[in-house]
Structure formats: C-alpha cells, structure tokens
Amino acid sequence: MPKAQEKILVLCSADLLPEPEAIERLVAPFADPEVGMTSSRPVPVNDASQFMGYAAHMLWDLHHAINIKSFKAGEMIAIRKIFERIPYHTAVDEASMEPVIRGQGYQAQYVPTAIVYNKGPETLADFLRQRRRIYAGHLAVRDTLGYNVSTMSGRKILMTLLQNLDWRPKQFAWTWSIVGLEVYGRLLGLRDYKKRRDHAVWEMATTTKQLKMATNTKGIPKI
C-alpha cells in the first residue's frame, strides 16, 4: 500500500471474477468525500442443487441480506487511501480495515450492483477450514481493535435466516445442517483463537480456487 499512488484503491483476490462494470460501480460512491470504503456483492458459482453448493449460496445470500441493513465488507472492496498498511497478522483483511476507516469518521457503503463471482468450498473439510479461520480472525479484530463486524451477532444472523428461510423439504433440512456446521466451525475458530493459533497465513481451502465457468457474450458467467 505505501507504493500505491491513487487515492482510491481496489482490493480483489486472484480467485474472483468481477462482472465487467463491477469495479466502476464499486468506486462510484467515492464521489462523496464522506465515503471511505465500499464492498461488492459476492455471488458463488457453485451448483445450488448440491449440498455444498447450497451452503455457499445460503451463506452469501445471508451476507447480502445483512449487508443491506448493516455493512459487512467481503471479497472485493474499495477503500480511500487514508492509512499506509493493512493491520499486521490478520486473517481477515477486509474486516481489519473496517474499524480503521470508520474510526476516522468515514462511511462504509455496500454496492450490491458491483457483483463479483467466487467459488465456495466443495468439501466439508474446506468449509470448516474456511469458517474457523474467518471466525478466529473476527475475534482478533474484536479484541485488538474493539470492533465487531456485523456477522458476529448470532441473533442478527438467526433473524435474517428466519426471514429468508427456504421451506422446500430438502433445502429446509440442508439449511439446519449448514447452521450446525457453521456453529461447529465457530467453535473451532474460538478454540484456535484461545490457543493463539495463527491464521494470518492460512491453510488453503483448495476447492475454492477452481473458479471455472461458462460466460455469455458479455463476459458474464452463466450460473
């Protein structure tokens, strides 16, 4: 970051595929000098007819629903360059930057039209590996920076889930199985955090790195 010369920076992982106009939409709110951070809407390319694919869509749909009411950065973000480096030893870069930016009086804005495609875990092992790392990282942000990201609230997540519950029999059963896996992943993350396991350099969830899909003539994925 110290070498970046522009006032607005876009951070995007290499395993994401933004829609053609996503970056333009992501940076547009910075015309307002009070905006310091924006976040995209991640959409998984996984097959929702399969359990793990359904899990990916369910979690990111909840992320979207929560973001409409209470900002939560995720995947591709844009920031105003008002600091020189990302906090050291963090497993959750976006969450670590939220309190730094908002603490200086800037607003954070969700841009649901800035769509970026990602790949959710396709195995239980990768799912738990990812969820425990993220929760451990959020605990560290809470304790070191005094900031709770919006998805730290179990009550908020549960209320949002109930408001958007899929009542189809198979999907209903899958939903509560995924809830159980998420709780287990958070318990693992809590244990990791208490034992000071370092997730800053994390074990890769390999099935999330295989972002292959068909696209239409405009370069937009067919999902």
Domain ranges of the chain: 8-209
pLDDT at 145 over 80: yes
Poorest-confidence range of 82-86, 158-162, 166-170? 82-86
pLDDT at 186 over 80: yes
pLDDT in tens, 13-27: 888 999 999 999 999
Report residue 216's pLDDT band, with 50, 70 and 90 as the boundaries.
low
pLDDT in tens, 112-135: 999 999 999 999 999 999 999 999
Average pLDDT, the chain: 89
More confident residue, 220 or 178: 178
Could you tell me the pTM of the whole model?
Answer: 0.86
Report CA 184 to chain centroid distance, whole Å. Answer: 19
pLDDT in tens, 27-64: 999 999 999 999 999 999 999 999 999 999 999 999 99
